[in-house]
Amino acid sequence: MYGNPVKDWFYFTRHQRLGIIVLLSLLAVMPIAGWITERLLKHRSLDEQHFAVMIEEYRKHLASIEEAMARLDEAAEKEIAVRAYNLSEEQKITPVPFDPNVLTLEEWTSMGVSSRLARTIGNYLAAGGGFTYKQDLQRIYIMDDETYAALEDYIELPDRNTAGSLSSERGAAMTSDEQTAGSTKRTPTTNDTLLYAARYYDASVETRHSHHEISDRQQTYMESLSGAEPVMIHLNRADSTTFQSIRGIGPVFSRRIVRYRELLGGYHCSSQLLEVFGMDSLRYHDIAGYVETDTLDIRKINVNEASFTDLVSHPYIEQPVASAILNLRRQHGPFAHPEDIKNSYLVDDQLWKRLKPYLTASNADP
């Protein structure tokens, strides 16, 4: 009725018995296969000759690397020596009498001036710059004191101190009427132009080397001054070609003046020329008497309609200030007056004074 439980545990079907036989066969074969493999590898001999060849090739490779490194070190040492020699040669200044306004790159380097300094001076002249006094050469930012000291006695330009004393004597000789008239803006006369020429070309020619005469460029310039009629140029109406008629303003610099005028919306005073890239006080002093402005020509920004882009496009308005103006307009509505932007702590009195000529608060939407 009931089966034998022990017998049931040891009963296997035909397929199970076949699987057990295969498993036992594999268990028996594996140790034998391992023993056979070990015996075969044990009798394999090591190719010592091939190993020695590999070692030798590796040593040759290391030697080639060391040789290449040695050549690189030698080349680096030679380059350092050449640079040191060139540097020492560049420091040997052998100047001759010269006018820095007309000297070429080759003439600068022939005197021992470094090619970098010569290129910098050439770029400065090409941008519309010029030298009026000997000391103006020191304005070149890479001009060191030693090089200038070696060149100073050979520069064929007047000394600033001598020109200053001549100018003070002329000021003492002016009548009270002339001094009163000089305090107001006036159109330069031919006498003023000739005085400028006299200041530019020092009367004491004997201080220069007696064997070197004034250059043709200087003579031509003085002859042109003697018969020239000074013309006032309107800063907000003149084009780049008109600006080039002023001495010291070349094509590059005239384009800078016009480009900055477009960014501003127009000049409200001539002193804004000092904000033009490359303009210094010496150059501005030379041209200030030949330019004039008119605030009616200024293009204004409506703070009640301007977008963020309109505001930040103006040179005086930075991004934080533009955001503050727009936030005030959103929070409190349109501005009644342009001065209302001073309610922002970012707009101080100094900034407002600069922005005042360029802002309006007209309302397009009542």
- CA angle, 352 as apex, 347 and 353 as ends, to 5°? 150
pLDDT of residue 200: 39
CATH 3.40.50.2020 assigned to 233-297: no
Let me know: does 231 contact 293? Beta carbons within 8 Å: no
Three-state SS at 292? strand
What pLDDT is attached to residue 302? 93
Query: Could you give the CA distance from residue 241 to residue 249 in angstroms, rounded to a whole number?
Result: 10
Q: Distance between CA 126 and CA 102 in Å, rounded? A: 11
233-297 and 301-360 share one fold = yes
- Predicted local distance difference test score (pLDDT) of residue 292: 87
In this predicted structure, what is the pLDDT of residue 142? Answer: 74
Residues 6+ apart with CB under 8 A from 163: 133, 199, 202
**Looking at residue 6, what is its pLDDT?**
65
Q: Which residue has the tokens 């006369």?
A: 189
Which pLDDT score, from 0 to 100, does residue 214 have? 36
Q: How far apart are CA 156 and CA 211, in angstroms?
A: 12
CB 98 within 8 A of CB 212: no
Task: Give me the pLDDT at residue 188, please.
Answer: 44
Q: Where are the domains of the chain?
A: 105-226, 233-297, 301-360
Profile the chain (366 residues) by mean pLDDT over runs of 10 residues.
Answer: 62 83 88 80 66 86 88 79 56 82 86 84 79 82 80 86 56 45 42 41 36 40 43 85 84 89 90 87 84 85 91 90 91 90 88 91 61
Question: Quick one: tokens of 93?
Answer: 């200044």
Residues in contact with 15: Cβ distance below 8 Å, sequence separation at least 6, in sequence order? none
* CATH number, span 301-360: 1.10.150.320
Question: Distance of alpha carbon 315 from its chain centroid, rounded?
Answer: 18
Spatial distance between the Cα atoms of 202 and 205, rounded to a whole number of angstroms: 7
Residues 287-306, buried b or exposed e (16+ Cβ, 10 A)?
Answer: bebbbbbeeeebeebbbbeb
Q: Tell me the pLDDT tens digit for each residue of 5-20.
A: 666 676 778 888 888 8
Alpha-carbon distance of 277 to 264, in angstroms, equals 14
pTM, entire model: 0.40
CA distances in angstroms from 61 to 47, 48, 54, 66, 138, listed in the order given: 22, 20, 11, 9, 57
